[in-house]
Every structure is written in C-alpha cells, then in structure tokens.
Structure 1
Amino acid sequence: MKTADLAASAGVSPQHVRNLEAAGVLPAAARTATGYRLYTDEHLSALHCYQALARGHGAPIARAIMTAIYRDDTAEAFALIDASHHTLHEQRQALAQTTQILNAISNAVDERLHASVPMSIRELAHLLGVRTSALRVWENAGLLTPERLPGVQHRSYDADDVRDARVIRLLRQGHYRFTRIKPVIEELRNARTGTALRSVLEERHTAFTARARAMLHAAALLDQHLTAYAARPRPIAAYA
C-alpha cells in the first residue's frame, strides 16, 4: 500500500507516517524504482501498535518501545513497558494515599470549632498538640497566614487558620512535603470545602483506570505483532 493508504487506514497524515518511519517506529519501507514507498500489513500492524502504546504509555515511551523492537532489542522494549507499569502503580498508590488523607482531613475542614477563636499561637499549638515553633515553620513556608495584632504584633488565628493548621498537621503526619501541602491548602481556601479537591482525585482515578485498560489493549496488539512479524526478515527492496 502507498503512504496515503497507510495513513488513511490509521487516521493519521502521510507526513506522520513518514516521520514515524524515519524515527524507526515503523520498519523501513520498500521503495519502487521511482522512489515511492510501499508499505505492507506489517507496517499497518506496527502503526496500530504504536498508537495503542501511545494511548497507554504516552507517545515518547511508545516511540522508544517500537524503536527498540525494530533494533531487535525486545528485552529493552519489555523493560520500558515494565517501567511504565511500575510508574502507574506508584501513581495509583500516591492517589490512594491522598484520598485517604482527604477523608481524614474532611473532619478538619467541616467540623465546627470547639475552641474559641481568634486564638493565640500558644492556644493553637496546644489544640493541635504541636510546638509553637512548628506553627512558625508552617507560616514561613507560606502554609499559614495569621493576622498580626497591631502594636504587639502577636499572631491571631481565626477559624480558617485553625482549619488550615489541622489539615497541615494531618498531611505532615502522612509525611507530605510542604510543596505538596501548599496546593491542598490553597484549594481548600478557594473551595472552602474538600469537594473540589475530591472531584480532582476522582478524575485522576478514572484516568488511571482508562490508562491501565489502554496498556492492556496495547500489550495484546504488541504480542500479536511480535508473533506475526518478529521472526520475519525485513529487506528493503526495489520494484520496477
């Protein structure tokens, strides 16, 4: 088949097909005497494999997998696939931990305060069971923004500050770094509740599930491709 035929069968542009061949994602096409490329069912299979791998693993990894295969380095291709699955597993674990933490902090966000506000730094530290120095560190990191009373410059924590401090304490107990805590606090300040954040986590969970399914589909296509074509010679021929 011609370049345009292969491109149309995969729903891509002819230039995209030529780019993938030049990158080694597709095997080199045979050429006619006049220089036109001639593609086969193997090229179509390889192109479908690449597209499926890109949906599951991302385009850069898909390219690396297919180029490894056409360098006859299937071990490298499988190692790339394994590493990508491992990355997805780690992301799932992080998502599960974040969801767990969100469930824990929902009480800190939604429950009514049992203590009077505003509070001093010592009162808040006592409420949370932390040192006053911890509250100062959180403030220096931009996680807390208490009001400073005029004249004496003592810190004054209102209800939102107390809520944020509770959330920070729980996330720190989960070994979250400040760089990960800050977006959570900002989201809570903007949304006032954990609803928006929970929605984001649910979307990520759905995306991970879709990605895992795409990986499974790509693995099936790649297995079929290797079974059908891996042992075949791929000469570059010229046709009159």
Structure 2
Amino acid sequence: MRPIDLAREHGLSAQAIRNYDDAGVFPPTQRSESGYRRYTPLHAQALRAFLALRGGHGHQRAIEIMRATNRGDTEAAYRLIDTAHVELLAERGTRTEVAAALGSLSTSAPAPVQGRPLTVGELAHRLGVHPATLRTWESEGILHPERDRATGYRHYGPDSVRDAEIARQLRRGGYRLRQVAQFLESLREAGGADALSAFLDSWQERLTLRSRNLLAGAAQLDAYLTLLQQT
C-alpha cells in the first residue's frame, strides 16, 4: 500500500502518513526500488491504533506508546497506558470531591457584607473562629485577602467573606483544607454555584468520553499487538 492508501481510510493526507512514519508510529517500512514507501496491513493497524490512542492519551503520549511498542518494549508502553488511567482516576476523584462539597453547602446564603472590608478580628468574630484559623486558611490558598498598603493589615471584602463562610461550612462537614481550597478554586473559575453545577456536568461528560477513548485505544492497540506476534 502507498501512503495515500492508508490516508484515505481516515481522511488524512499522504504527508500526514509520512510524518507519522518519521515519528515512529509505524513498524519498519520497506521501500520500493524507486524509494517509495510501501505499507502492509500491519502498518494500517498501527495507524488505527495510534489514532485511537490519541483520543484518550493525546498526540505526544500516543506517539510514545507506539514507539515503545514498535521497538518491542511493551512494558514501557503499558506503563504509559497505566499512567493515563491513574491520572483519570485522580481527576474523577477530584470531580467527585468538588461535587460533594457543592452538595453539602447550606441553601441559606450568609448575609452579604455591608460597608467597609472586615479586619481579621471582625471576620473571625463573624465566623466564630480564631484569627489564627483565617491565617491558616490563607496559607492553604482558601482565602485571598487584600493588604493595606500602609499598614500591611489584611482586609476581607465581600468575596473573601463569602469564601470564608463556605470554608467554615465545609470544615464543619469534615472536609480537609486541601478539599476546601480545591472547591473554592473551582467555584471561582466557574463563576458561582449555578455555573459550577453546569461545569461539573460538563466535566463528567469529558471524563466519560475520555474513558471510552481509552478503551477504544486499548482495543486497537491489542489488535496491533496480535498482528505483531503473528509476523
């Protein structure tokens, strides 16, 4: 088969096939007397495996998996695949923790802060915690108070007070500082609780899609490994 023959199945260009060949996606390629590359069904399956792996692992890692496979280092290939599953499991756990934190928040919102920002002592009194607790939350990335340029004292505006209220509630629910910081970071990035809920749904869809892509990649790679064993 010519490069264009492999390319047609996937809507690729012949140049893309040559680029993948040079990158190590294929096993050794024979050339005709005139120097043209010649491919076999083994190369066609290698391309299917690479494209399927790319959906779950990304372009560069898919290349690394194919390179390891083609040089006979299946242990390295399996290690790369296992790493992706570990990463996905960790991300799935993060999403679960953020969703649980959102669900544990009280439906009654705290009264908004009126007037000037609060000091450390005033916010601690409002929450019923020690001022040192607020400083710990700041060091853990939970709170981001502003500083008075003249005195260096911390000032807590409405956003910081809201974050502190949420942190207190989550801490009472048994959440660790790392989890609280993680939740608040997601909340800020999403733009609020309603937006975060939609974000979590989209996140779950992405996780599900990647899981399916990893399965599809594994199936095509297994088919390629079977052909390799037969050659």
Distance 1:128 1:184, change over 3 A: farther
User: Kindly, what percent of the aligned residue pairs are identical?
Assistant: 35
When normalised by structure 1's length, the TM-score is 0.77
Q: 1:46 is matched with which residue?
A: 46
Q: Distance in 2 between matches of 1:228 and 1:156?
A: 66
Q: Distance in 2 between matches of 1:3 and 1:102?
A: 52
Q: Name structure 2 gaps, 5 residues minimum.
A: none
- Spell out, residue by residue over 1:4-61, the C-alpha distance to the aligned partner (whole angstroms, 9 max, x if none): 1211222222222111111211112211110111111111110010000000111121
TM-superposed deviation, 1:116: 8.6
Q: Distance in 1 between matches of 2:119 and 2:216?
A: 58
1:23 aligns with 2:23: yes
1:174 aligns with 2:179: no
- 1:53–1:214 Cα contact (<8 Å) kept: yes
Q: 1:198 is matched with which residue?
A: 197
Worse-matched range after superposition: 46-55 or 90-99: 90-99
Distance 1:130 1:185, change over 3 A: farther
**What amino acid is aligned across from residue 163 of structure 2 in structure 1?**
D
Q: Distance in 2 between matches of 1:153 and 1:81?
A: 50
- Spell out, residue by residue over 1:137-179, the C-alpha distance to the aligned partner (whole angstroms, 9 max, x if none): 656869344798xxx9998767654322112345674232897
Distance 1:156 1:4, change over 3 A: closer
Larger Rg: 1
Q: Distance in 2 between matches of 1:147 and 1:79?
A: 47
SS in 1 for 2:200: helix
SS in 1 for 2:178: coil
When normalised by structure 2's length, the TM-score is 0.80
TM-superposed deviation, 1:82: 1.2
Q: 2:207 is matched with which residue?
A: 208
Distance 1:23 1:123, change over 3 A: same
Q: Name structure 1 gaps, 5 residues minimum.
A: 233-240
1:111 to 108, 112, 118: 108
